[in-house]
Chains A and B, each alone.
Chain A
Amino acid sequence: MKYLVKKIVTLIMTLFLVSVLAFLAFQIIPGDVVTSILGTEATPEREEALRKELGLDKPPVVRYFRWAGDVIRGDFGESYRYSKNMNQMMPVKELIGDKLPVTLLLAALSMILIAVIAIPLGVFWARSKNRFLDVVLNMGTQTAMAVPSFFLGVLVTYLFGILLKWFSPGGYVSYKESFWGCVRYLVFPAISVAIPKIAMTARFLRNSMLTESGSDYVRTAYSKGASERRVAYFHVLRNAMMPVVTFLGMIVAEIVAGSIVVEQVFSLPGIGKLLISSISTRDFPVVEILILYITFVVIVVYFLVDVLYRVIDPRISNK
């Protein structure tokens, strides 16, 4: 319990710190949201009116606390930039709520790919006695990890989209229109997200399994006459998975926090893309909430991994 309280306090402190940093950042960077919205041809009267409407005529400190107060009350404000209709701006909540499923779906697909491919690959690799295969896998995974993500995205688009025509680049189907159509499209960005992560996870799992195989309990299991297969799958894998879980947790956090590059390359309307465009249009309310969201996700996922660890391995909490 004390542990949980401590974690929650940390979370709140970090969120506060992040929100202040983001606010300060917006004070510093050039670019006025009013000009950004109205362009260069607007009348000064309109600029003034808009400034007032957005509350930008108030001093920064007042603005920050007013904003923070609203957020605490659950009011995330409205985008400066996106209008919902003729006379109402888009609430940030709705805007993000609309983009989030895309990112989450992408994350889910990527995780499925990673789990389905990396785990068997890692186990197979750890058990393989073939040195040549070891070299091939080693080089292969190293190479996969060395490809820059936007280069990978471009390569996937080029290969599957343009040469093989398995999907039409940019032909993203909204999940609201057709869920499976959306999944079908998202498979390809998921592939580009997954490839380096598969390589990392497989390497990680292999190393972890090799370390575990040297442990006492494995020797005991052998001496008891357990088959090699049984040892590999039941004993070693279970223990070797623990650090892998942490690793996968970090990957989840990373993807859920928005795969900015991949979303850009495949023009997916997810939160990564929203973050970039909101920064470049100086849409402060959207950026603030997105940053808070990302912080929240990262910290909570780390926390869950930590909890999971304690559940799997009671030794940690006893310590």
Chain B
Amino acid sequence: MKKVGAWFKKQNAYFLVGLVMTGLAVMLGILSFFWTPYSTTAMSAAERFHGPSLRHLFGTDNFGRDIFSRVMQGIGTTVIVSSLIVVISAGAGILIGAITGYFGGILDEIIMRITDAVNAFPSILLALVVISILGSGKQNVIFSLGIVFAPSYVRIVRSEFIRLRDADFVCRARLMGVKKLRILFIHILPNIWSVFWVSVTIGFNNAILAESGMSYLGIGVQPPDASLGKMLSDAQGYLGRAPWYALAPGLTIVWIVLGFSLLSEGIRRKEAGKR
């Protein structure tokens, strides 16, 4: 037992396990764009609600579709959608957080009020607004959820910048006449990565969940396309009859998010080890 613990530490097994888990999921997701064992939409009355077997690894759903193939497609959709949400919200978060945190002042006040407002605003209502202006579809879900999640990154980045703006190395750089933008993004930014990564992980998790929630309301991915969240909400009605239908996408989400968390834990430990 002790050996396992030691091995974990030595090899940075968190990183490895995380890498394997996410890697496998992402590969399946990418593969689904080219090939799935069965069609993701073809229905078959004879094959409804078959339990997991060698023919259908995860069983079949209420339309007799192969759940494994749909999970593959779902991973593809969900990972892309969630990653883009994280990229948009984290990108906006860094930009706004860095500027407001470093410079402070009236701009900071205004932006913080807006962030608070967006933060308290129900994401469903916001999504409805975006969709009614831009129409439904994946890209608009990404856009609206990107807005919804930006404030949390702003908060984190901002507080980190406030903490570091008076640090010795920043003061020194300022005295040496380094340009402000350079101080912001070359000097300070790398120092907040570890905090930032953790919030990206949580954000990724939240993005997957929110995308599921949107699909649940019929705003996100449109049927017959599969997304993990949509599958999970569809499957809820068949929990007693076909528990595998809910378990497959549910556990896949857990798998991806866990893999991602372990990966970032591994990165964090590696960083810590270096110092």
Name A225-281 residues within 8 Å CB distance of B.
257, 261, 275-276, 279
Judge whether B205 is part of the interface by a CB distance below 8 angstroms.
Answer: yes
Judge whether B178 is part of the interface by a CB distance below 8 angstroms.
Answer: no
Contact of A21 with B121 at beta-carbon distance under 8 Å, contacts A13-B113, A150-B212 already known: yes
Judge whether B262 is part of the interface by a CB distance below 8 angstroms.
Answer: yes
Judge whether B191 is part of the interface by a CB distance below 8 angstroms.
Answer: no
Q: In the complex the two chains form, what is the Cα distance from A10 to B81 in whole Å?
A: 35
Main secondary structure of the interface of A (DSSP, over half): helix
Q: Is the CB of A158 within 8 A of B265?
A: no
Q: In the complex the two chains form, what is the Cα distance from A96 to B215 in whole Å?
A: 28
Judge whether B267 is part of the interface by a CB distance below 8 angstroms.
Answer: no
Q: B residues within 8 A CB of A257?
A: 120
Write the chain A residue with the least CB distance to B264: A142
The interface stretch among A101-109, A119-127, A130-138, A178-186 is A130-138
Q: A residues within 8 A CB of B132?
A: 28-30
Contact of A135 with B4 at beta-carbon distance under 8 Å, contacts A143-B254, A145-B261, A150-B212 already known: yes
Interface residues on A, range: 35 or more
Rounded to whole Å, the gap between the CB of B121 and the closest CB of chain A is 6
Write the chain B residue with the least CB distance to A276: B124
B207-242 contact mask (Cβ, 8 Å, vs A): 1 or 0: 011001100100000000000010011001001100
Of the residues A10, A135, A150, contact of B8 by C-beta under 8 Å? A135
Q: Is the CB of B239 within 8 A of A154?
A: yes
Name A144-190 residues within 8 Å CB distance of B.
145-151, 154-155, 158, 162
Rounded to whole Å, the gap between the CB of A296 and the closest CB of chain B is 8
Q: B residues within 8 A CB of A162?
A: 240
Q: A residues within 8 A CB of B209?
A: 148-150
Q: Is the CB of B261 within 8 A of A261?
A: no
Rounded to whole Å, the gap between the CB of B10 and the closest CB of chain A is 10
Q: Is the CB of A25 within 8 A of B113?
A: no
Write the chain A residue with the least CB distance to B229: A148
Q: A residues within 8 A CB of B14?
A: 138
Of the residues B6, B109, B258, contact of A143 by C-beta under 8 Å? B258
Q: In the complex the two chains form, what is the Cα distance from A7 to B118 in whole Å?
A: 18
* Beyond A131-B5, A146-B261, A154-B239, 11 extra complex contacts between A and B, CB < 8 Å: A25-B125, A25-B126, A29-B129, A130-B2, A131-B6, A134-B5, A146-B254, A154-B246, A295-B116, A298-B119, A298-B120
